[in-house]
Amino acid sequence: MTAIVTRFYAAAAAGDGQTGCALTYSLYVEEIPELYGTASGPPGLRGKTCAEVLTKLFKQTPKQLSEEYASLKVLAVRVHELRALVVLDFKKVGEREILVHREHHAWKVYGLLDTKLG
């Protein structure tokens, strides 16, 4: 799980939405354009595909994502069946969490980015 989260953040820091989507849980990949890419979603994220939406998201804060990625440390992983919570630490923002989901014998990210711990 550390590897998948690290690869996801490397893609985010590079502004690479296509790789970000490849590392994301497939059911969520389908939902991303529906939730964020339509007229009801945030104007800056509109797009027809997961890759379009994630690329726009990643490019909105490239410096922040690059700095966060450089200081990323996985502190803990809490697994429950096919889901897990990965606890992250970033120097500037502190502890955060991101969900991952098991799919076809591989772990995939299940969220746009991390959220506050708790």
* pLDDT tens-digit readout, 28-40: 999 999 999 888 8
Burial (CB < 10 A; 0-12, 13-18, 19+), residue 80, is: exposed
Q: What is the pLDDT of residue 18?
A: 98
- Give dist(CA 5, CA 25) in Å, integer: 12
pTM score, whole prediction: 0.89
| Concatenated DSSP letters of 13-66 | HTT-HHHHHHTB-HHHHHHHHHHHSSTTS-GGG--SSHHHHHHHHHHHSHHHHH
Q: Which domains are present in the chain? A: 2-116 (3.10.450)
Taking only the tens place, the pLDDT of each residue in 89-116 is 988 888 999 999 999 999 999 998 888 8
Q: What is the pLDDT of residue 33?
A: 94
